[in-house]
Amino acid sequence: MDQETAKKLLVEGGTFVFLGVPSETQFGIDMQCWNTEEDFRGVKMIPPGLHYVHYSAVSKGTGDIAPRSGFMHYFHKKEFLVKMWDKKTEDLSKEEISDESIQRLKDNLFNLDRHLAPYPYEIWQKWKLLSSQITAELAAKLAPESGMIRASVELLSMTDAERPRGVKSSSSSISQENEKSPTKEDFSEEQIAGHSSAKRAKRITREEKEKSLLPDLKPVPGAAMRFTEIPQDKYPPDATPEEITKHYLDQSYSLELMIAQHNEPLHIIGELQFAYLCFLIGHSLEAFEHWKSLVILICSCDEAIHKYRSVFFHFIRTIEVQIEEMPEDFLADIVMNKNLVYKKLREFFRTAYVSKVDGRLLTMIERFKDNLTDKLQWDFTGLDADDEDERPVVVKLDDGTQ
C-alpha cells in the first residue's frame, strides 16, 4: 500500500486484539489466512467496514486442523476489539473482556503494536466487491444467534426414545408385494390409471419409510444459520392450472416473496454474498447449498428482471466476482456435470434476450457471458434453441397393427 493509505489506516483503521492464541493456529481475516507465531496478538490498520475474522485450532502432535470457525464484525473507525482464546475448548472464549482490561491494552498500544499484523490491504478491493451489499444489520440477521459461523455445527444429542425406529409394513402390504404382478389385460383403462396412482403412492411411502430411519438431528440452540427460507410453493394460493405453470416457468413470484422479507430489495444480493462468503471462507456446505438455491432462483426469473433492474445489475456484478474466486474443483463440477448452476445461467442468458433487456444491464450480461466463455471455456452457444433435455419427447405408440 502507498504511504498516504498507510497513514490514513494508522489513524482511522480498526484494531483486533486476539489474546492467548497458540502458535501455528490458522488465523485469518477476510480472504487472507496465516499460521500464527508465538508473539502474535492480532491485526491492526483494519479498513472501516464489514470483515470476517476466522480461525482453526491446529493439533501440536499430529498437525490436524480443526473445522474453521469465525464471525463477521463491522469495524468502525478507530475501533478496538478484544477477544481471548480459551485453551480448554481450543476456541474463542465466551468470557467478556472487562472495560478496564481493554483500556490497559489501549494504554500499552505502543508495546502491543509490534505484535499486530497489518491488514493485508492488497485484498481490500476484492473483498469490497464480494461484500458490497452486506450491511452490519443484515449480517447480524443472517448469522447464527450466537454470532459464530462454523464449518461444523454442533448437533443436539438424542435420547434412546427419540431414536428412529422406522415404519413397520402391514401384513397386507407385504402380501401385496409378493403377489404376482397383474398384466395389462386384467384391467380396464380406468383401473390402469388407478393402479399407476397407487404405485406412485407406494413409492412415496417407501421414501417416507427410508426417511423415518434417519435421525432428525437439530443444531444446538443459537448455532444454526438464519437464511431466508426459499418458498416451497412457487405460486399464489388459489392459482389456476395455467397460472401454476406460468409461475414454475417464471419464478419472479418466489423471488418477490423473499425480497419482501428484507428491508430493501438489494438485501437479497447481500444474502447471496453472505452465503457465498460463509462457504468460501467459513467452509460451510449449508451456506453453499443456500447460495446455489439463490442463484438458481434469480436465474429462473423473467418479469422480475424489468421490475428489479438494480437487483439484477448487482447480481451480475456479484456472481461474476464470485465465480472468479470459486475453488477450481467446484467450477469443474459445475461444467463437467452440467449441474443446475450452469444450466440456469444458460436459461438466464436466454431469458435476457427473449425479454428484450436493454441498456447497461444487457451490456453487463453480454460481458459476463463472454468472460465465462473466454476464461473458463463455458459453452453458451445455441441460446436461441432449446437444450436437449428441454425438448418435447415424442413417444411412438404401438397400435397393434401389422
- Spatial CA neighbour of 230 closest among 294, 141, 142: 294
Q: How many CA atoms lie within 13 A of 108 on its CB side?
A: 12
What is the residue type of 169? S
What is the residue type of 164? P
The strand pairing partners of 33, in sequence order, are 28
pLDDT > 70: what percent of the chain? 77
Q: Is the dihedral of CA 259, 261, 266, 270 positive or negative?
A: negative
Task: Please give the Cα distance from 321 to 318 (Å, whole number).
Answer: 5
**Could you tell me how far CA 16 lies from the centroid of its own chain?**
27
Contacts 24+ apart (CB under 8 A), 242-246: none
For 341, other C-beta atoms within 10 Å of its C-beta total 21
DSSP for 300-337 reads T-SHHHHHTHHHHHHHHHHHHHHHHHS-HHHHHHHHHT
What is the residue type of 243? E
Sheet holding 42-46, edge to edge: 91-92, 80-86, 14-19, 42-46, 116-118
**Of 127-141, 177-191, 322-336, which gets the smallest average pLDDT?**
177-191
The strand pairing partners of 226, in sequence order, are none
Is it the case that residue 53 has pLDDT exceeding 80?
yes
Distances from the Cα of 48 to the Cαs of 51, 127, 198, in angstroms?
9, 12, 62
**Could you tell me how far CA 184 lies from the centroid of its own chain?**
48
Strands (E) in 30-96, as ranges, are 32-35, 42-46, 49-56, 69-75, 80-86, 91-92
Encode pLDDT of 174-210 as tens digits.
444 444 445 545 545 445 445 544 444 455 566 666 6
Pick one of 3.30.70.520, 3.90.320.10, 2.60.34.20, 2.30.110.10 as the CATH number of 3-120: 2.60.34.20
For 71, other C-beta atoms within 10 Å of its C-beta total 20
Judge whether 299 and 347 are in contact, CB under 8 Å: yes
Grid-cell match 491494552, residue found: 105
Task: Please give the Cα distance from 21 to 28 (Å, whole number).
Answer: 12
Task: Please give the Cα distance from 278 to 222 (Å, whole number).
Answer: 16
Asked whether this chain's domains 3-120 and 132-154+224-384 adopt the same fold, the reply is: no
Coil, helix or strand at residue 285: helix
Is it the case that residue 67 has pLDDT exceeding 80?
yes
Coil, helix or strand at residue 102: helix
- Spatial CA neighbour of 327 closest among 297, 367, 371, 283: 283
Pick one of 3.30.70.600, 1.25.40.550, 3.30.70.20, 3.30.360.30 as the CATH number of 132-154+224-384: 1.25.40.550
Judge whether 328 and 377 are in contact, CB under 8 Å: no
* More confidently predicted of 50 and 178: 50
- Spatial CA neighbour of 152 closest among 63, 78, 56: 56
pLDDT score, position 83:
96
Most confident residue range from 134-138, 157-161, 282-286, 328-332: 134-138
Grid-cell match 445461467, residue found: 345
**Average pLDDT value for the chain:** 82
C-alpha R_g of the chain: 27
pLDDT score, position 166:
55
The set of cell numbers assigned to 138 is 443484515
Domain range annotation of the chain? 3-120, 132-154+224-384
Judge whether 40 and 115 are in contact, CB under 8 Å: yes
pLDDT score, position 391:
47
* More confidently predicted of 338 and 311: 311
pLDDT score, position 217:
63
* More confidently predicted of 95 and 154: 95
Encode pLDDT of 208-264 as tens digits.
666 666 655 676 777 789 999 999 888 899 889 999 999 999 999 999 999 999 999
Task: Please give the Cα distance from 312 to 264 (Å, whole number).
Answer: 14
Is it the case that residue 304 has pLDDT exceeding 80?
yes
Task: Please give the Cα distance from 344 to 351 (Å, whole number).
Answer: 10
pLDDT score, position 372:
86
